[in-house]
Amino acid sequence: MSLEDELRFSLRQRETFLGVEGGFADAQYFIFGVPYDLTSSFRPGSRFGPEAVRRFSANIEANSYSKPYDATTAKVYDAGDIVFSYKLSTMLKRVYRVVKNVSLSGKMPVMVGGEHTFTYAAFSAVNASTLIIFDAHFDLRNEYCDLWLNHATYLRRLIEKRPQAKIVVLGVRAFDLAEEKFAREKKITFVKPSELNDVSRTMRILKEFVANRSFYLSVDLDVLDPCYAPGVGNPEPCGITPGQLFDLIHFLGEHSPVAFDVMELNPLYDNGSTAAVASKLLIELLASTAES
């Protein structure tokens, strides 16, 4: 046994998604974390989300629940986390730069957070005409907690920057009347949890937005009911189930999103179920895009 082999047997490298140690050159998926939650207004802690996803993904079964697929065979490169800065503007620039360069390299950027604000930077960096979001909230406030850009305002800022983008919000159920009015004025398509029970109707709606279009797919884990996902920053009752989410992710994955994120995992308020769902969600994404 060589010294390198002996050391590898005795020492463990940093945790990676699924425990996979893939390389950048051959990767189809480029996974990175954003450990930032400084604009969180209720329950901070999502900065620890990327770490929790890596830990749980390496300790649950890597098979898809809906098709024969072993996610450990996927060409995944886990690049680690964005270097932390207290300045939101610096973090946004770093996320933008990473997503832009990865996208241009032909790989799929997969972002794990961390607060939802960073979807603003990631979507801005890719060539996508449509943004499909799973979220309990609209995130369309003009200002929140004296901040112009944060987790509750990012989508409004994005619409101001990309007014031609098509926006779909699925599972939304917690918003003020001004946000709903703004959503209707801007012709945002939104589907509430009760309407998602009609899966065939939902898929017909989504097909209009993904057929022959490039799209970015974003999941805020608070779209799930708190009984399934208590570990989020802003939990809201009457959410959807993991099964509903996975089915829709499979449908959307088969239409080839250009980038994907799963945000707002907060391990400080979790019993492990949210981290397990987030990890399985990424596995289902790999399964659904493997043949697309």
CB-CB contact of 51 with 36 (8 Å) = no
Name the percent of the chain lying above pLDDT 70.
95
Q: Which residues are annotated as a binding site for Mn(2+)?
A: 116, 135, 137, 139, 220, 222
CB-CB contact of 100 with 258 (8 Å) = no
- So what's the pLDDT on residue 267? 98
Mean of pLDDT over the chain: 93
Residue 190's pLDDT band (boundaries 50, 70, 90)?
Answer: very high
Q: CA–CA separation, 71 vs 54, rounded Å?
A: 14
Residue 191's pLDDT band (boundaries 50, 70, 90)?
Answer: very high
- Quickly list H helices, the chain: 3-10, 49-57, 88-104, 119-125, 154-161, 177-185, 199-210, 242-253, 273-289
DSSP secondary structure string, 125-188?
HS--SEEEEE-SB----S-BTTBSSSTTTHHHHHHHH-TT-EEEEES--B--HHHHHHHHHTT-
Residue 79: strand, helix, or coil: strand
Q: CA–CA separation, 2 vs 265, rounded Å?
A: 41
CA dihedral sign of residues 76, 27, 244, 247: negative
User: Among 48, 51, 27, which residue's Cα sits nearest to residue 37?
Assistant: 48
Q: CA–CA separation, 102 vs 191, rounded Å?
A: 31
Q: CA–CA separation, 104 vs 141, rounded Å?
A: 32
State the pTM of this model.
0.93
Instruction: List, in order of start, the domains of the chain with CATH numbers.
Output: 16-289 (3.40.800.10)
Structure tokens at 150: 């944060």
Q: CA–CA separation, 42 vs 233, rounded Å?
A: 6
- So what's the pLDDT on residue 21? 84
Task: Please give the angle made by the CA atoms of 77, 254 and 266, to the nearest 5 degrees.
Answer: 55
Structure tokens at 8: 């590898």
The 10s digit of each residue's pLDDT in 103-137 is: 999 999 999 999 999 999 999 999 999 999 999 99
Residue 102's pLDDT band (boundaries 50, 70, 90)?
Answer: very high
Total number of residues shown for the chain:
292
Q: Which residues are annotated as a binding site?
A: 116, 135, 137, 139, 220, 222
Amino acid found at 158: L
- So what's the pLDDT on residue 2? 59
